[in-house]
Every structure is written in C-alpha cells, then in structure tokens.
Amino acid sequence: MRRNWTLHRHRVLQARQRWLLLLRLLLLLLLTGQAWAARACPGPAIRIQPITPGVWLVPGADGDTTPGNQGAISNLLAVRDGRRLWLVGSGPSALYAQAVGCHLQRVSGQRVTDVIAPWARPELVLGQAGLVGVRRWAHADVAEAMRERCPRCLERLRLRLGSAAPALAGTAVALPDHLLRGDRGRLGPLHWQRLPRSGTTAVTLWSVPRAHLTTAHGLLWADGAPDLRDADTARLERAWQHLAALARDGEHWLPEQGPLQPAAAPSVQLHYLQALQSTIDEAQNQGTPESDPAPALPGVSDVVNRSARHQLNWQHVWREAEARWMETPAAPATGERATGAQRGVFQRSLR
C-alpha cells in the first residue's frame, strides 16, 4: 500500500507541475500578446469615442495647426456597415491615418475599407495616403479642388508644423478614385449633400440616419468662432439657413472642430455672422480703422468672442463689406462729404 501511495503522490506532483508549466506558458502568451498589441498601433495617440453601436468619433484638437497637435485638428467619423468600415475624413498625415485605422480595427473588428474626403482641407484629407487598399471617395468638385490645392497645402502644412514636420513622413497627395456628382445622394450607410462654401469651394455633408447625426465639415465649428477664411459669407449664410431648415429635434451635428452640437447649431452660427456684419457696418459708418481689435459681439458666447478666429473673421468680413461698397455704382456728387463707410475705405487705402 505504501508503494501505491508513493506512486500516486508522484503522479499528482507531475500533474501539478504540468499545470504550473501550462499556466506559465499562458501568462507568457498573454504578456507577449499585450506587448505586441501595444506595438501594433504606431504613430500619435488616438482617442476613439463611441457614439452609437457601430459609429465612432475621432476627435480633433481645438484651434489652428501647431507643432503640438501635429495638424490633427479636424474631427473624423467612422461607421461600420457589415464588412465595410467607412471613415469620413482621414487626418493630416499618412502616419496619423495609419494610427486611426489601427485603433478603429481594434474597436470595430474591421479595417477601414472606404475613406471619404468631405472638402479640400489639408488637415482633413491628406491622411488618405496612409490608408492602403481602401476606396477613396469624394464629390468631383472636392476632388478637383484637392488636385489643384493639395500640393501647395502640403508644403504650407509642413511649414506650420515646424519642428513637428517629420510627422508628415510618407504623406503625399492621394486623390480620390471614386467620384460623386450632383447635389445629393446615398453611399453605403450614408446620405450626402453638396453645399457651396464659396464660388470655388464645395463641401459635402454626410448623414448617418441610424445615429441621427450629420457631419458639417467646412460649415460648423464648436471650438470657437467659425472659420470664415477663404469663404464667401453670402454663400455661407445661405448654407447655414439651409442647415437650420433641415434640423430636427434630437438630431446632432459633427462640426469641423469641437464636440457634437445640437440641432440649433446652424442658427447659432448664423446669428454670429449677422452680428459680425452689423457691427462692422456700424464701425465703418463711424470711420473706425480696420486695424482696431474686433469687439465682443452682442448675444455671442465668450468662447466665440475670445477665439483667435473671431479676430481673423473681423478682417475678412470687413474687406467683404469694402468690396461690396466699391462695387456700388452710385458715387457722391462733387463736394459732397463722404460717408463714414467711405471714410473707412479711404483710411484703409492710405495704410
């Protein structure tokens, strides 16, 4: 009996050792897998925010491009549809887009299959070069603007990044290879429409009906004042009026920058523009120099009034007002005193 007990104890010890060895191997595999996963997504840190099942937001930084944010300032939107993963926007660089694609594959289980360029903003579309094997979609007008502008935009972006310019390594202008035409349509799980930002710049909006969400790149901002640079404010005003008419309770907008916005966002930006135009008209009538700091606008949030873009918008809309006055055929009679608005024009022309 003693011999049998010894043999039994020996077998138990062997089994225990095998289990311990197996546990050690499993732990080693787990640690190795974690280390591999940590190395699997190179590039900058990426935040992925779920909105609804199968829809994710990749938020951009506030403000303009700096070496610190490496140009990752535009919001991106990802939508899973069966075996396809759609990405609206791609970021400023190939490295950034690759990092976004890697993180999205982790959370969605799908690699990016389709990427959309909403409008020709370098911080929003240059990342396409880093997404290999995807279908690249854009409206034909957006694709043409990218073809004409993106080579210069890439160089300007490199200059703005300064010490962070190596973040653009491998970035080239990858033009869309699937073109859309017309003013509206449907693509996969998305509905789209084209709106003008200026006479030479079109933007496209992309709606996700199941998420009650529409992107508004190039039209809406929520990190401060909207960006009116290079925009025709008359066309922008009509675009905002159109968006305000479309808005329904419970719907949300994804702006170019800043957090998701409620249905009333277009009306808020419309009020900003109208307050800006009214204040500039008054300033010109009083002969105020354009170089004076932009004042705070009534009924506008402190965040907007304090933003750097508000100062730039003041100059842009001021010059638009001057251009309209210069195009007016009526002229004062000889000896008639110039109006305040005319004095404002004269003051600027003498500087």
Residue 210, both tokens: 């199941």
Query: Is the predicted pLDDT of residue 18 greater than 80, yes or no?
Result: no
- How high is the pLDDT of residue 20? 67
Q: Which stretches does DSSP call E strand in the chain?
A: 49-52, 55-58, 76-81, 84-88, 114-116, 135-139, 178-180, 184-187, 190-196, 202-208, 213-216, 252-255, 261-262
**In this predicted structure, what is the pLDDT of residue 133?**
95
Q: What is the structure's pLDDT at 347?
A: 41
- 154-174: per-residue pLDDT in tens? 999 999 999 999 999 988 999
What are the extents of the domains in the chain? 49-263, 275-350
Q: What percent of the chain has pLDDT over 90?
A: 75
Query: Cα–Cα distance between 26 and 28 in angstroms, integer?
Result: 5
- pLDDT per position as a tens digit, 227-285: 999 999 999 999 999 999 988 888 999 999 999 999 999 999 999 999 999 999 999 99
* Sheet with strand 252-255: strands edge to edge: 184-187, 190-196, 202-208, 213-216, 252-255, 261-262
* Planar angle of CA 54, 60, 61, nearest 5 degrees: 150
Q: How far apart are CA 159 and CA 117, in angstroms?
A: 23
d(C-alpha 139, C-alpha 51), whole Å:
26
Nearest to 201 by CA among 235, 251, 156: 235
- The confidence score (pLDDT) of residue 343 equals 41
Q: List Cβ neighbours of 140 (8 Å cut-off, separation of 6 or more).
A: 179, 180, 181
Give the bridge partners for 139, in sequence order. Answer: 180
pLDDT in tens, 117-143: 999 999 999 999 999 999 999 999 999
What is the reported pLDDT for 10? 60
CA–CA separation, 27 vs 35, rounded Å? 12
pLDDT exceeds cutoff 70 at 29: no
Describe the chain by its helix, strand, coil percentages, rounded to 5.
45, 15, 35
Question: Residues 56, 77: contact at Cβ < 8 Å?
Answer: yes
pLDDT single digits (tens) 33-49 = 444 444 578 888 899 99
Q: Residue 87 — left, alpha, or beta (φ > 0 → left; ψ -120 to 50 → alpha)?
A: beta
Q: Confidence class of residue 338 from pLDDT cuts 50, 70 and 90?
A: very low
1 in helix, strand or coil? coil
Q: CB under 8 Å to 314, separation ≥6 — which residues? A: 276, 280, 294
The rounded mean pLDDT for the chain is: 88
Task: Evaluate if residue 150 carries a pLDDT over 50.
Answer: yes
- Tell me: pLDDT of 336 over 90: no
Reported as a single tens digit per residue, the pLDDT across 283-311 is: 999 999 988 999 999 999 999 999 999 99
Class of domain 49-263: alpha beta
pTM of the model: 0.83
3-state secondary structure of 173: coil
Q: pLDDT per residue over 56-91, tens digit each?
A: 999 999 999 999 999 999 999 999 999 999 999 999
